[in-house]
A and B are shown apart, each in its own frame.
Chain A
Amino acid sequence: MGAESRWSKWRQSEGANGLLMVSPTAIYAILMLAAPLGTIFLYSFLTDGYLEIIRQFTVANYVEAWTNELYRSVMIRSLGVAMTVTFVTVILAFPVAYFVSFHVEASKKSLWLFLITIPFWTSYLIRVFLWKVILGYNGVVNSGLIGLGIIDQPLDFILYNVNSVVITLAHAYAPFAILPIFVALEKIDRSLLEAGQDLGETKFRTFLRVTLPLAMPGVIASVLIVFIPTIGDYVTPQLVGGPEGRMVANLIQLQYLKLDNYPLGSAIAVSAMAIVTLVSLAFIGLNRRYLKGPK
C-alpha cells in the first residue's frame, strides 16, 4: 500500500466527492469573504505612514478607535440607531406576521407573503432616495401637512438626522423581520391555543403564555437579521442622515477613502464587528430558554 493507492482511494471516497462539490462555493467564499476580512484584520495592526502603510505591528489604531471621543460617539450612535430600528421594525413586524399566520386563509398566505416582498422589486438605493423625497423640506409629508393647515412651518426634524435614518431603515428591513416571525407562528400547533383557553385562560392571556413564548425563536431571528446589517449600514445614513446622522460605516469610508488611513479604518471596522458579535451573543444568551428543545 503505497501513497499512490491511498491517494486514488481517497479520490473515490465520499469525502472527496463532497469537497469537490463544495469547492467552487468554498473558493469563492474564501476569496471574496475570508481573504478581505483577513486583510482588514492585518491592516488594523499595521502603522499608518500617511500615504503609505508601514509594516510594523502596533495596537495604536485600536487605542485611537476606542479612546477618541468622535469615534466613540459615532459607534454609540450606530448602536443606538440599530437598536431603535430593530425595536421599531420587530414591534411593527409582529402584528403583520401574526395577521398573515392566524387570520389569512391558508390558500392566500403565499399571496400575502409575495405582497410583503414587493418593496424588494425596487433597488435599495432608490427606496432610500424616495424617503428623501417623502421626508424632505418640501417633501410629501411637509407639503401635505402644510396643505392641510396642520403646520405652517415645514418640520425639519424628519430629514438629515437620526430620525430619518431610523424611519428609512425600519421600512427597508420590515420584510426581513416579518418572515422569521411568520415562520415561527406557522409552526405553532393550533390546538395549543385551544388548550390554553380550555385550561381557563382568555385569548389574550393565552397569547402571552403560549403564542408569544413559542414565537420567540422567530422574534430572536428577526432581531438579529435586522440588527446586524443595520448597525453597519452605509447608504441610508449617507443619503438621509445628514451630519448628525453619520454612522460607523460612514466613518470607516472616511478613513479609507478621504483620509487614506487604512489601519485606523480597519481598526474601527474590526471593533464594530466585535461589538456586533458581542451584542448579538449577549442577546441570544439572554433568550436562550426560548431556543432550547428540538427544532
Chain B
Amino acid sequence: MTDKPTMIAFQDVQKYYGDYHALRGITAEIRAGEFFSLLGPSGCGKTTLLRTIAGFEGISSGAVMIDGRNMAGVPANQRPTNMVFQSYAIFPHLTVAENVGFGLRKAGLSKAEMASRVGDALEMVGLKGFGDREAHALSGGQRQRVALARALILKPKVLLLDEPLSALDKKMREQMQVELIRLQRQVGITFILVTHDQEEALVMSDRIAVMFEGEIAQLADPETLYRRPNSRRVADFIGTMNFLPAQIIGESGDTVEVEAQGFGRLVLNAEQAPGGTSGEGAVVGFRPETLTILFEGQTASDRESMAVIEEVVYYGDMTYYDVKLAGSDAAIRISMRNVFGRPVLEIGDETRVAWSPGALVLFR
C-alpha cells in the first residue's frame, strides 16, 4: 500500500463559513487506488472536506491537490473527480440510459458507441437492460447503481461517495458494501467514502480518517483504528469499548506502569499508551471480545480474574454479558460467541474471566 503514489493531498486546509470554523487545518494524503473513508459524526466536516475535492466548496486557505495538481480555481466540471450524491441526484426527466450517458455529451461519441458504453456501465453495476426505464420509477438501490454507473462511465481518477448507503435498508446496505468493494477492485480507481457508520467504514476501507469538529483525530487502517485508537473519543466512536479507571504509577522509557481497577498492576508498552487524553483522568480501554468468560475445564492462557454477571443480552449468535470484575464497581461488557451445548450464564452467576494485558489501551 505504502508504495502507491499520492492521489489527493490536503495541505493545511481551512474552511470558514462566516465565523464558523468548519475545517481546521486538514493535512492528509490519500493514495492512488485506495478505498479511503472519512468517518465522523454529523457536523464534523467530513462532507465539507469531500466537497472541497469535488469543487463544490471553496477553501479559505491551504491547498487541495489532485494527482499533483493544485485545484485552486478549477471548477467542478473540470476536475478529474465524479461524485455519487447522498440523494443520488438522478435526473428525474431522463431515462436510466440518458442519466448514465449524461457526462458523455462532450466525448463526441457516435450513437452506437454511446449506447455500447452506457450498456457496459449498466452491466458493471448489475442493471443490464434497465436503460429504457424512467429514472423516477427506480427503487433506492437501483438509483444508487445508476448514480455509480453515471460517475464511473467517465473514468474519473477519484470517485467520491457522499453517504451513499445511508438511505438503504440494512440488508441492501450490506449487499452494496460488498459490491462497492468489488467494484473498486475492478476499476482500480481511488474511492473516497463519507460515512457516519463506523461499521461501514471498517468493512469497506483500506484506510479511515476519523474526524471530529473539523479536524482529523486519527488516520489509520481499520485494524489499527479498532485495536489502538489514539484517543478515548475515537475509541468511543469506533465500536464498543469498555473503560476502567486507572492510575499511572510510573513511566520508564517505552513502558508505563499502571494500577487499573479490576486488573491490578500492569506494565503497558508505548503502543498501548498513545497519549490521547480521556478528559477525566487516566482510564484503560478494551474491546468486549478481548475478555473471555471461562467455563468449567477451561483455563486462561494469560491472566484470570473473578467476575459477577450483572446483565445478559442474548443475540442468537452472540451473548453480551455485563459483568463486574472483582475489585471494580464499574460494569463492563463482554461479548461471547455462543457455542452449541454451552450454557448461557444467568444474572448473579459468578464466573472466571480470562484477559490479556496486551489488549488494553491507556488514555490519560
Residue ranges of A at the interface with B (Cβ–Cβ < 8 Å) = 189, 191-192, 194-202, 209-210, 213-214, 290, 292-294
Residue ranges of B at the interface with A (Cβ–Cβ < 8 Å) = 54-56, 75-78, 81-83, 85-87, 89, 91-93, 102-103, 105-106, 134, 136, 150-151, 154
Summed over the interface, the residue pairs from A and B with CB atoms below 8 Å come to a total of 63
Q: Is the CB of B154 within 8 A of A199?
A: yes
* Residue numbers in A under 8 Å from B83 (CB-CB): 194-195, 198
Q: Can you list 5 A-B contacts (CB < 8 A)?
A: A195-B85, A199-B150, A200-B103, A213-B93, A292-B134
**What is the minimal beta-carbon distance from A120 to any residue of chain B, in angstroms?**
33
Q: Is the CB of B136 within 8 A of A293?
A: yes
Task: Find the B residue at minimum CB distance from A192.
Answer: B89
Looking at B77, B85, B86, B154, the one whose CB has the most chain A CB atoms below 10 A away is B77
Q: Is the CB of B77 within 8 A of A290?
A: no
CA distance A113 to B208 in the complex (A): 47
Q: Is the CB of A191 within 8 A of B85?
A: yes
* Residue numbers in B under 8 Å from A199 (CB-CB): 77, 82, 102-103, 150-151, 154
Q: Is the CB of A198 within 8 A of B93?
A: no
For the residues of A in contact with B, the DSSP-based class is helix
For the residues of B in contact with A, the DSSP-based class is mixed
**What is the minimal beta-carbon distance from A220 to any residue of chain B, in angstroms?**
13
Of A192, A194, A200, the residue contacting B91 (CB under 8 A) is A192
**What is the minimal beta-carbon distance from A242 to any residue of chain B, in angstroms?**
45
**What is the minimal beta-carbon distance from B17 to any residue of chain A, in angstroms?**
14
Q: Is the CB of A202 within 8 A of B85?
A: no
Ranked nearest first, the 9 interchain pairs of A and B with the lowest CB-CB distance are A199-B103, A195-B89, A191-B89, A197-B76, A197-B77, A213-B93, A191-B85, A293-B136, A198-B83
Q: Is the CB of A293 within 8 A of B92?
A: yes
Task: Find the A residue at minimum CB distance from B106.
Answer: A200
Looking at A189, A195, A210, the one whose CB has the most chain B CB atoms below 10 A away is A195
Of B81, B91, B93, the residue contacting A195 (CB under 8 A) is B91
Q: Is the CB of B136 within 8 A of A189?
A: no
Q: Is the CB of A200 within 8 A of B77?
A: yes
Q: Is the CB of B77 within 8 A of A191?
A: no
Of A202, A209, A210, the residue contacting B77 (CB under 8 A) is A202
CA distance A200 to B150 in the complex (A): 12
CA distance A197 to B89 in the complex (A): 12
Q: Is the CB of B87 within 8 A of A189?
A: yes
**What is the minimal beta-carbon distance from A204 to any residue of chain B, in angstroms?**
11
* Residue numbers in B under 8 Å from A290 (CB-CB): 93
CA distance A196 to B86 in the complex (A): 15
